[in-house]
Structures are given as structure tokens and as C-alpha cells.
Amino acid sequence: MGHLKPALPVVLDLTGRLVVAVGGGPVSARRVRAFLDEGAVVRVVAPWVCEDLRDLLADDRVEWLERDYAGPADLDGAWFAHTATGEPSVDREVAADAETLRIWCVDATDAAGTSASVAARADVSTPDGRVTVSAYAAGDPGLAVTVRDGVERAIVSGALDLRRTRTHGRPGWVALVGGGPGADGLLTTRGHELLASADVVVVDGLAPRAVVDRLPASVRVIDVGKTPGRHPVPQSRINDILVEEAQRGVGVVRLKGGDPYVLGRGGEEREACEAHGIPVEVVPGVTSAVSVPAAAGIPVTHRGVARGFTVVTGHDDIPVLPTGGDHTLILLMGVSRLSRTMDLLVAHGRSADCPVAIVERGFMPTQRTTVGTVATIARLATAAAVEAPAVVVVGDVVRLSPDWRRVSSAG
């Protein structure tokens, strides 16, 4: 193995400090963008600039010397320098001048010989700020990128713990995270990131439990799950829990099934937190209103069959809605009042022969679909002992499902 040049990775605060970028090509453009993102003031030295770099010149923190590099005076006042002219002799000159002036300089044309290097970097946002991942591979930028990408994937998947170890005096926060229909693979990347940052997770009965089971033992899990007819933790108390935990200075994820704002009472939880000055982030989830029918082979809209759909709660009497089979009705939490709802649909003008499907436990190994019509589905559901959680689909799109075709062919 050859000799590896020693290197000390450091973090530089460039806020308000001058960085000189020599060269006007795409490499300089990428670096200038990064310097500006970190708050630096930038001097570009180049007789021409590429389109991406020209766009950055509109920033009043960027000065452009429209000419070739003219010597040490161009580095006057700089804290850091970067050269990428594409001419090795010029880049060596810039690097040598910077060395004389004791200014750290990245020579982008000489990865092995440069006195400073910009590591392959990725930023991951957390409620407490950000985590920066950097990788350096001693003159092999391709390997550095591979390592960086691997660590970044581990972070965004939730495999790495992002919980702060220095928490004194930090403000608390709340994130309302939609967990999707229950399969942990449908939780969003941002949802995984926030779970990896949370100290407390407040979970309901329809959230992806496999994700919760993989949380470190140090994370406190508060189960506020509700089942039909059993509400051990009222919504007002759930709101109080979120506020109380965040006021302790910890990060709280409220992990919910589906989407927080689709019949999930996420709006109430957000209002309760913001009334106490607690910052709230809302992460959308894959709503079961669309995803569970899809799991059963039922599109809620389909060209030539259905042009729109409505999602309503089955807890209450449904309002008057479009009655044609070309308008799909999605009922959430509608099993316990199914017979009453079907009677109301007929009273409102929906055909008794309109197809209906009930999809239980969508995306789970025990998923099951029961099909019938507005006139027959309540009786069929009773006979099949249908139970929540389930999504009820009413409309002509039900005829597209494999279960409808199977039952029709058997009849």
C-alpha cells in the first residue's frame, strides 16, 4: 500500500469571510454555490463564466474580476481559496501564491497534491438543525462519494440514530408524521429521519408498528391508540401530551396512520402546539383513502369509469354527495355504521345496484376484500364478520377489482 498523505478533517465557518474562486467553469460554479450557502463572500477570478456561475453573479455577495488570474493581489483578504481553471500551470500558480500567503487552497485539478480538499458532503435536516455528512478518501473523490452516499442512505432510512446527546437548553419540537396505511415500507424518507431524531413517539393504533418496534430502547413510546368503541386517551389529552413533552425540551413525533390531515385530527394537534409556541412540522403520509383501494386493485379514478372521488368519515351520517357511479365515494371508519350509511346513499339517490367493496387491513398479510352492492353489502359484511380497520369504496370502479370479477364469474 502506498503512503497516504495525512489529513485533518475540519469544519469551517465561512460566514462573512472572503473566499476566492479562480476559474469560471462548472466545477467553480458548484463550489461557489456551496460557499454562498455557507454564508461566504466570494470573489470570482475568470475571463469568462459558465451559465450556472453566471446565475450566481446576481448575488450581491459575489464579485467578478473578469480577467485571468493576475497574482497574489487577487487573493488579498481571502480566508480560503479554490482554483479550477483547467490549466494546470495556472492552478499551480494560484496554489503556490496561497501557500506563501498562508491561505488554505483547494486545487481541483490535483486531488493528490492539493493542500486542502472539499470532502464529499451531504446535509440532512433535523428539527434541531442539520447533520452534515462528509467523506474524504485521500485523493479518490469517487470513493468518497460512494461512502457519503452510503452513510446518507443509512441516515434517511432511520438506521442511524440522530438523537441529540447535548440537550441542555434546547427547545422542544413536534412533528406530525403520517405513517401510511400501516406497512412500514410506505413511510416517507422524511418520516424516517424524524423518527431517528425523536426522544418521544406518540403512536396510534394504525401507525406502522414495525417501525416503532425498531426504535432504540432510549426512545419513550406513548401509545394512544384508539379502537372502535374504545377511546382510552381522548383527543384533548393527546394534544396535552404533545405540548407537555415538547415543553420539556425534547423532540416529539406524533406517528399516525395514513395522513395527519385526512380525517386524522392533525390540524387540532398542530393548533394546540402552536398555541403554546411549539414549532410543528407536518409530514404527509400515504392516505389509506387512496392506497388501500389500490392494494385491492381498485383505482379511485379511472378513465371512462370515474372522474372524481370524495372521502368522508363513516362515523356520522354522510352528507348529500354526487350519486352517479362515476363519482367514487371513500368511507373511512365506516364499518360500524355501514347499514345506516348504505340506506342514506339510497335515500340520497345512489343506485341500490352500485358496486361496493370493503378492504380490510390494507397492505397487511391478512388483507381481505368483500364485494357487493349498496343493497347487499351490509348483509355480506355481517356474514363475513368484517372488522375495522377497513376502507369502504362505493362506485363503478369497484368492478375493476379482481375480487369483483371473481365473484361475478362465480355467480
**Strand partners for 227:** 230
Residue 381, φ and ψ in degrees, nearest 5: -65, -40
Residue 315 is placed in which grid cell?
A: 362515523
Element (H, E) at 271: helix 266-274
The CATH number assigned to the domain with range 173-286 reads 3.40.1010.10
The pLDDT score that the predictor gives to residue 226 is 62
Q: pTM for the full model?
A: 0.70
How large is the C-alpha radius of gyration of the chain?
A: 29
Numbered ranges of CATH 3.40.50.720 in the chain: 18-118
The CATH number of domain 18-118 is 3.40.50.970: no
* CA pair distance 98, 51, nearest whole angstrom: 27
* CA pair distance 361, 397, nearest whole angstrom: 20
Residue 254 near residue 174, CB atoms below 8 Å: yes
Numbered ranges of CATH 3.40.1010.10 in the chain: 173-286
Element (H, E) at 222: strand 220-223
Match 390540524 to its residue by C-alpha cell: 267
Residue 93, φ and ψ in degrees, nearest 5: -65, -45
Strand spans (E) along 71-181? 80-83, 104-107, 120-126, 129-135, 173-178
Numbered ranges of CATH 3.30.950.10 in the chain: 289-410
Mean pLDDT, consecutive 10-residue segments, the chain of 411 residues?
62 93 95 94 96 94 96 96 94 95 90 74 71 74 80 71 65 93 88 90 89 89 73 87 94 94 93 96 94 95 95 88 92 93 94 96 93 96 94 96 88 63
Burial class (CB in 10 A: 0-12, 13-18, 19+), 89: exposed
Q: Topology of 289-410 in CATH?
A: 3.30.950
